A and B are shown apart, each in its own frame.
Chain A
Amino acid sequence: MNKIVVRTFAYFIIGMLLSLCNVKVIAQESGNFIKPIKPIEKQTSIQRHQVNLGKVLFEDVNLSENKQMACISCHLPEKGYADGLPFSKDNAGKDKVYNTPSISYSIYNYHVSWTGKFKSLEEHLDFLITNKTLMNRKWPSLIAQLKGNSEYQSLFTLAGYNEISKSTVIDAIIKFEANLAKPSRFDLYLLGDKTKLNSAEIAGFNLFKSAGCVSCHQGTNLGGNLRQKFGVIKPYFPEQKINTRDLGYFNSSGKDEDINFFRVPSLRNVAKTAPYFHDASAPTLEKAIQVMFTYQLGIDASEEDIESIKAFLATLDAIE
């Protein structure tokens, strides 16, 4: 009899605990679905040696055919891992088609590159290294070269890779890129520290939400997870004179419905990565904000609105 009572009590306690957990989960969920932007939390487990190896690879000019180009030549740390130029340079020093995007938060992107034709960083890295106008390398020769280098051998061993291969090289570089994603002031604000943003910046955030920027620039990365037409309300590109690059995703898919569709870029670090848009048509942030207001939202924005949004966007810069 006594045993039964004790057992029932134990079951009751367990049940109560389980229901508490449920309540906690529900509370977390309900917190999530009204938030258009998810904060980045500080990474807890960093594989230091892998990141270090990735950094070495990222900065090594020997990865390119002509030994003059590394990843870092277009993605400069001081420019927010973009290059500050209207268009990226190829290995002969000529302009390429698109503006160099920042890679500091690329780990959170689903679509990679301006048109979003790559679905993962792995594919994109493979493309960049084997592309004739960029690094122009063949994987076998590159692997052989890395294997011949005793420094790399020790670095790979230290990082815990048991071989030097295409997948491990790519993995190391991606680990380095993932490590670049640092939380910003805005993330701290979202995580609960309300003192991190001043009133002007909060007003900017509210305008960002109410004006409708947030319908595309949402999620962890404030963009990067969908394609959208450039010029939803008003057509942005003049119809008589349209460049091939302005066709966007149409270039890869060949479907009419994809004309002018671009990957929505992330807004993190945006203040550091001028000029803006795929064709660098906006030299300053103000101009970019104004273009977005007119063509994507159909609103004639005032000076104050633009300033307010700009103040908010500045809070998205990574803090060291």
Chain B
Amino acid sequence: MTLKRFIKNSLVVTCLVFPLIWLYMDSELGMSRRAHEVDMLLLNVIQVDTELTEHVLRTRSQLTLHYDDISSSQKRLHNLLSKFPMSIINNSTALKEQLSAIAELSLKTQNSLDKFKSINSQVSQRQRYIKYLAEEIEKTSSSTTSVINEVNQVVTEVFNARIFGYQISESDVNNYNERLLNVAKDDNQETQLLVEKFLIHFQELSLLANKETIIVSNILEHKLRNQSLKIRKELLASHYKELLNSKDIQRYLIVYAGFLLILILFFVLNRRHLKRYASKHKQHSERDELTQLYNRRVFLKKLESIIHRQSGALLFIDLDGFKRINDQLGHNVGDETLQMVASKLKNVIELNESSHIFAEVFRLGGDEFVVLIENIDRTYSTDCLKDFASSAVKECAFNLTSPNDEYFLSVSVGIAQFPECGKDIAELLNCADKAMYESKQRGRSCYTFYHEINQ
């Protein structure tokens, strides 16, 4: 198993184990039983409270004509609190006090709900009765339509108030009273009695309706829910404090932190390994091992990238007499010679580089080197190239002495300019090669421009 694979597997395993630990902590230690029970109770109370308000509002706007829903919610609330196992919280007095506050509030809510039911039904009963009285007045009233109109107006007002949920104020009630009594003055005895009765009931009805509104607004304050939410908040805060102080959680936190560290370590190691691996491979693929120059592949790539955009030249350099050195003095000397030439060429480049020219040396293979010269700002002159080539020829001409013999080493340089010699890499290389052969024929240790051969 390679290191990479090992790291990969261990990462997967860690990723799987983590959530499991987290889950375990969450379920086993995240909620102690007591806190959980109380929390469930409070949640249920909140739910019942919401349910109750919905039922009350429905009943008030007469969407339901029965109180079964309210009663069943009341029953649920009662059961919740009466069946709650108080023994669980025996040792926590603060919690006990808070829960008793909840119980008190729920008792109050229950009472106001009972009252709401009876008042609500009384209001609808009285409404019906007032309508009945209005009909009676209509029957008995002698002649004037004004009484009937007035009475009907009151009835309409009452029904509107119920439907649209507004209150009939006391002054309004008094107003109606006066007007009705005034109008009914001239009517017969029976009607007057009925009107008086009607007014009494109207007054009571408006009082009751106002009471109902007050009760409903009280219920809508959600005291029970707000208290429960408050307690839950406190409970949660104290609960986390407790958790952090508990030994179990500390142990698990250490385990968790350990796993986290291991994960991070793996990550870092993996990253470093990959980085080193990548850079090593890059060097292998780009550099020539012997001379540490860029190799043929990089040269071709580079040439391809600039050949269409820029002008420049190729200096094709071939060693003269290298074969003899290699054969007679051995490969070791040959290699050393090559390294020497490479460093000399590097020196040449350093000497001749200017702001107009950018040059780089490549080893194509064997004893062949190439210097690629880019003309950066297009102030190109063949003099520059000539300087370059001549310095290369000068630098690389030297003698090797051995006890038996003396070896003379020099370079022949062929120069091909682009884009003058074509824009194709193969063609360009061919040209440079031909120029190089020309210099070899001219007696070695010199340079030739390709365009000179053509002439």
Query: How many residues of chain A have a CB within 8 Å of chain B?
Result: 31
Given known pairs A33-B58, A227-B117, the reply for A214 and B65 (CB within 8 Å) is yes
A128 to B115, CA, bound (A): 27
Q: Is the CB of A226 within 8 A of B118?
A: yes
CB <8 Å contact, A297 and B129: yes
Task: Tell me whether B121 and A110 are in contact (CB under 8 A).
Answer: no
| Interchain CB contact under 8 A, A233 and B65 | no
Tell yes or no: A184 within 8 A of B by CB.
no
B-side residues, CB < 8 A to A, are 58, 63-68, 70-72, 74-75, 78-79, 110, 114-115, 117-118, 121-122, 124-126, 128-129, 132-133, 201
**Among A37, A120, A219, A296, which residue has its beta carbon within 8 angstroms of that of B125?**
A296
- Identify which of residues 242-296 in chain A touch chain B, using a CB-to-CB cut-off of 8 Å: 257, 261, 296
Q: Is A232 in the interface zone, CB < 8 Å from B?
A: yes
**In the complex, which residues of chain B have a beta carbon less than 8 angstroms from the beta carbon of A35?**
65-66
Offer 5 A-B interface pairs, CB within 8 angstroms, sorted by A. A214-B65, A228-B121, A233-B126, A298-B132, A299-B129
> Is A229 in contact with chain B by the CB < 8 A criterion?
yes
Q: Is the CB of A225 within 8 A of B66?
A: yes
Complex Cα gap A119–B114 (Å): 11
Nearest opposing residue in chain A for B132, CB measure? A299
A226 & B121 in contact (Cβ 8 Å cutoff): yes
Asked whether B125 lies within 8 Å of A226 as measured between CB atoms, the reply is no
- Asked if residues B121 and A215 are in contact (CB atoms below 8 Å), the reply is yes
Which of A's residues lie within 8 Å of B, judged by CB? 32-38, 110, 119-120, 211-212, 214-216, 218-220, 225-229, 232-233, 257, 261, 296-299
Tally the A-B contacts, defined by beta carbons under 8 Å.
84
Q: Are B67 and A226 in contact (CB under 8 A)?
A: yes
Q: Is A297 within 8 A of B75, CB to CB?
A: no
A124 CB, nearest partner CB in chain B, Å? 13
- Whether A297 lies near B128 (C-beta < 8 A) is yes
Minimum CB–CB distance from B130 to chain A (whole Å) comes to: 10
Q: Pick the contact of A233: B79, B115, B125 (CB < 8 A).
A: B125
CB distance from A312 to the nearest CB of B (A): 17
Q: Do B71 and A32 have beta carbons less than 8 Å apart?
A: no
Structural contact, B63 and A232, CB atoms closer than 8 A: no
Residue pair B124, A34 in contact (C-beta under 8 Å): no
**Which residues on the A side are within 8 Å of B110 (C-beta)?**
119
**Are B125 and A212 in contact, with the CB atoms below 8 A?**
yes
A119 closest partner in B (C-beta): B78
* B219 CB → nearest A CB, Å: 15
Contact (Cβ within 8 A) A261 B118: yes
